[in-house]
């Protein structure tokens, strides 16, 4: 592949600076960024469709370049970023700063770099005679559980000719990733009875029962580690389950009547997370909850699903995969972190791969950066993908 022209590279960096300047931390609205992209695309005669959340303060954006009636390529990027509250930022988090061949700013790698590259390709895309369409998909609330993209994926899936493949532009150093784990996150509230700790045997200790439940969760995690299922293409070749937060109690001399903890399972794409959660829930309810209620009927466990997203399976045998493999033949394996690829695949029945500029090692850290060379590689890839869309 040839180097992208310098004007396009400068355009991509300029666009990245504009995208980073929008503080799209997940707790905030992303409409400023979405409206900027909508207006940018309109300059090239491209219409955008917005899919708002229930509050109207966030939206997905879908824009199609090229012909209708044939299955094309979806380029997918999320617009939200994690908070940038650390004091160790050397330069302003929401101001793109270049140093030593790197572009610093929250979201530069995860994952506004990919979106900026896709937008920088728009002038070229509208000039080319595309045989298949390219769909630009920008989503909200990926960082809090991939909960925003679903409405746009449903729309794509309902099209007469859905995309034949989706490229999820998460940072992979421009390597092709052909699988990711899913995630299911739960909150558990344990209600006991309070009283002076000198009479502890007369009370129901919420923290103690929570700890026993946590041990049961840990036992299940060890079972996954020892007995699988396994997929050695993943860096961690089995599903994992662990408790992630805990809180409870009021004082050192009061039997705690309240404890709350969260736990998660990160599961292989073919591993039924709902069934795992149901099994552990049933085991706890039939033992610990019954024991608590025997002593005091108003005590026990309450369960709340926080969020879930599906895993992304291997699509290397899908008809659309050659559009990517013709450019990057080597497969670099599967990842344990999540992306919207599982939503595209499982909910939308759209085969998906993950491939984008920057390193996942920079994601969610202070002084997040993307190397300019990665922007160049991504533009190179997208130009070659455009050639594939012309020749398809």
Name the nearest CA neighbour of 12 among 258, 384, 392, 374: 374
Whether residues 147 and 161 fall in one domain = yes
Q: Are residues 85 and 38 in the same domain?
A: yes
Instruction: Determine the 3-state secondary structure of 190 from DSSP.
Output: strand
pLDDT at 18: 98
- The residue among 308, 338, 353 that closes a domain is 308
DSSP state of 205: -
The pTM score is 0.92
For 336, counting Cβ atoms within 10 Å of its Cβ (0-12 exposed, 13-18 middle, 19+ buried), the class is middle
One domain for residues 169 and 216: no
Last residue of a domain, one of 308, 328, 351: 308
Do residues 162 and 45 both lie within one domain? yes
- DSSP, residue by residue, 311-379: -B---TTSGGGHHHHTT---B--BBSS--THHIIIIIT---EEE--SS-GGGTTSTT-EEEHHHHHHHH
Long-range contacts of range 295-298, CB-CB < 8 Å, 24 or more positions apart?
A: 295/204, 296/192, 296/193, 296/204, 298/191, 298/193
Say whether 32 sits in a helix, a strand or coil: helix
User: Which structural domain, as residue segments, surrounds residue 222?
Assistant: 182-308
d(Cα 187, Cα 239) in Å, to the nearest integer?
19
pLDDT at site 346:
96
**Paired tokens of 31:** 């409409």
Choosing from 308, 331, 366, the residue where a domain stops is: 308
365 and 235 share a domain? no
d(CA 128, CA 197) in angstroms, rounded, equals 76
Query: Do residues 50 and 56 lie in contact, with contact meaning Cβ atoms separated by under 8 Å?
Result: no
DSSP secondary-structure letter at 281?
A: H
Residues 6+ apart with CB under 8 A from 325: 176, 316
Is there a single domain that holds both residue 265 and residue 296? yes
- Along the 392 residues of the chain, how does pLDDT read in single tens digits? 445 467 999 999 999 999 999 999 999 999 999 999 999 999 999 999 999 999 999 999 999 999 999 999 999 999 999 999 999 999 999 999 999 999 999 999 999 999 999 999 999 999 999 999 999 999 999 999 999 999 999 999 999 999 999 999 999 999 999 999 999 999 999 999 999 999 999 999 999 999 999 999 999 999 999 999 999 999 899 999 999 999 999 999 999 999 999 999 999 999 999 999 999 999 999 999 999 999 999 999 999 999 999 999 999 999 999 999 999 999 999 999 899 999 999 999 999 999 999 999 999 999 999 999 999 999 999 999 999 999 98
**In CATH, what number is assigned to the domain containing residue 317?**
3.40.630.10
Tell me the β-bridge partners of 255: 195
What is the C-alpha R_g of the chain?
24
Angle at 336 between CA 332 and CA 341, to 5 degrees: 75
Same domain, 259 and 346: no
How do 134-139 and 182-191 pair as beta strands? unpaired
Whether 108 and 238 map to the same domain: the answer is no
Q: How many domains does the chain have?
A: 2
The verdict on 237 and 352 lying in the same domain is no
Residues 295 and 215 in one domain: yes
What CATH number does the domain containing 287 carry? 3.30.70.360
- One domain, residues 9 and 105: yes
Are 10 and 143 in a shared domain? yes
Sign of CA dihedral 153, 79, 128, 355: negative
Q: Are 184 and 308 in contact (CB under 8 A)?
A: yes
pLDDT value at residue 1:
43
């Amino acid at each position: 592949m040839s180097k992208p022209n310098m004007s396009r590279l400068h355009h991509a960096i300029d666009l990245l600076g504009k995208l980073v300047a929008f503080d799209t931390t997940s707790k905030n609205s992303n409409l400023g960024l979405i409206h900027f992209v909508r207006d940018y695309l309109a300059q090239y005669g491209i219409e955008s469709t917005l899919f708002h959340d229930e509050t109207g303060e966030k939206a997905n954006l879908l824009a199609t370049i090229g012909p209708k009636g044939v299955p094309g390529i979806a380029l997918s990027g999320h617009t939200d970023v994690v908070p940038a509250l650390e004091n160790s930022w050397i330069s302003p988090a929401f101001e793109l700063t270049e140093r030593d061949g790197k572009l610093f700013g929250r979201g530069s790698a995860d994952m506004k770099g990919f979106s900026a590259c896709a937008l920088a390709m728009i002038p070229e895309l509208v000039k080319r005679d595309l045989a298949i369409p390219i769909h630009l998909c920008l989503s909200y609330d990926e960082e809090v559980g991939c909960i925003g993209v679903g409405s746009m994926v449903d729309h794509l899936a309902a099209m007469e000719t859905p995309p034949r493949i989706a490229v999820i532009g998460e940072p992979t150093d421009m390597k092709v990733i052909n699988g990711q784990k899913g995630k299911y996150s739960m909150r558990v509230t344990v209600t006991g009875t309070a009283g002076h700790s000198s009479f502890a045997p007369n009370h129901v200790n919420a923290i103690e029962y929570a700890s026993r439940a946590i041990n049961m969760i840990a036992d299940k995690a060890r079972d996954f580690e020892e007995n699988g299922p396994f997929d050695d293409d993943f860096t961690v070749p089995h599903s994992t389950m662990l408790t992630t937060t805990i809180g409870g109690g009021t004082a050192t001399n009061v039997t705690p009547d309240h404890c709350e903890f969260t736990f998660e399972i990160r599961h292989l794409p073919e591993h039924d997370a709902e069934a795992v959660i149901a099994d552990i829930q049933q085991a706890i309810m039939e033992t610990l909850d019954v024991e608590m209620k025997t002593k005091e009927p108003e005590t026990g466990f309450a369960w709340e699903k926080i969020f879930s997203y599906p895993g992304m399976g291997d699509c290397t045998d899908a008809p659309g995969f050659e559009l990517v493999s013709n450019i990057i033949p080597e497969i670099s394996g599967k990842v344990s972190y999540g992306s919207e690829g599982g939503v595209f695949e499982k909910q939308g029945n759209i085969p998906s791969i993950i491939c984008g500029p920057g390193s996942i090692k920079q994601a969610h850290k202070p002084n997040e950066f993307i190397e300019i060379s990665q922007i160049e590689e991504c533009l190179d890839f997208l130009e070659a993908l455009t050639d594939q869309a012309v020749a398809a």
